[in-house]
Amino acid sequence: MKVIVGLGNPGRKYELTKHNVGFWAVDQLSDKWDLPFQKEKWNSRVAEGIVGGEKVYLLKPLTYMNLSGEAVGAALRFLKLPIEDLLIIFDDMDIPLGQLRLRQKGSSGGHNGIKSLIQHLGTEQFNRIKIGINRPPARMTVVDYVLAPFSESDHPIAADAAIASAEAADEWMRNDFLSAMNKYNGAILRP
């Protein structure tokens, strides 16, 4: 069994913001695998089904970004899921726009959603796909930046990166995380 979580904020207000590219990625997986988000449990919107003979859950936490660990922790405890079967997809300001970085462990890097996950999971050792969104311009706060939509020219690049991160997650499901890392680390892919 695998759990793939896209981090973001619920509601129309946040749909197109930089902080929601994790949601975009799991939406791509939902479409690719024909697993609609039809349920709410563990304080998340949930899609579930079988992919490549293995049970998979897609989660979009409803807790808002800064409390993501509450939802993910509840799901992992209920499912009794080992940490190596968890994958988190989220935005990262320290990576160039549209670039992917896959890691099996690491600190929060100042990302509040990841801080919450580390706190609730009790470990930094979980698979993650980071989607680059660039740093905010001078004089713009981090909060204002991540909660703003992408510019017209940046949006397609971010959308392509969400598609690429979904492909990387699919590779993890069908093979392993090392294979996904080898194929997609540093990639800026076009669909």
175 is in an annotated binding site: no
Give whole-number Cα distances, 27 to 36, 63, 81, 135, 147, in Å: 9, 18, 22, 25, 19
Q: In sequence order, what DSSP letters do the residues of the chain get, joined into one string?
A: -EEEEE----SGGGTTBGGGHHHHHHHHHHHHHT----EEETTEEEEEEEETTEEEEEEEESS-GGGHHHHHHHHHHHHT--GGGEEEEEEETTS-TT-EEEESS---TT-HHHHHHHHHHT-S--EEEEEE--PPPTT--HHHHHTSBPPTTTHHHHHHHHHHHHHHHHHHHHS-HHHHHHHHTT-----
Tell me, yes or no, if 120 is annotated catalytic. no
57 is in an annotated binding site: no
Catalytic residue among 19, 111, 120, 155: 19
112 is in an annotated binding site: yes
Looking up tokens 């896209």 gives 6
64 is in an annotated binding site: yes
CA dist 11 and 64 (Å) reads: 10
Indicate the annotated binding residues: 14, 64, 66, 112
Which residues belong to the active site?
19
Indicate the annotated binding residues for tRNA: 14, 64, 66, 112
